[in-house]
Amino acid sequence: MVSFKEQWDIEMALEVLKNQSVESSTWSEAAKWIMLYGPPELQEVLRQASSIATNSCFPQLEPERYTDSGEPCYDINKIAEALGVTKQEALEKIAEMENEQGIQHLFDASETENIQ
């Protein structure tokens, strides 16, 4: 099975993002690939857009901590509540994403910094 990282390259992902008639699920996959594996400057642009979208769609969610690399960390209970799922369902989905992407998304408080 081909890993998610190997399914795309930057040229393919950018081509999908600029195509106005592509299906939303394909567009989402391309954007996710860039956020995870694309060049840092594009990752930052998408991170900012993601933050704006999160604030707009889920105004009750605010980062409580940050990783060493500056990624916002949210309380899992608040994420589950905002999405209308149980904490366990949210944890399972995040674990699935970690497994698929090979990237850590769940962090213990000792791995993060307080917001100053």
Say how many domains are in the chain.
2
Cα(113)–Cα(105) distance, integer angstroms = 15
Domain boundary among 57, 86, 103: 57
Q: Which pair of structure tokens corresponds to residue 13? A: 């992902």
Residue whose structure tokens are 């307080």: 114
Q: Which CATH number do you get for residue 100?
A: 1.10.10
pTM summary value: 0.73
Q: 107 and 73, same structural domain?
A: yes
pLDDT tens, N- to C-terminus, the chain (116 residues): 778 888 899 999 999 999 999 999 999 999 999 998 999 999 999 989 988 999 999 999 998 898 888 888 999 999 999 999 999 999 999 999 888 888 888 998 888 887 65
Domain of residue 24 covers: 1-57
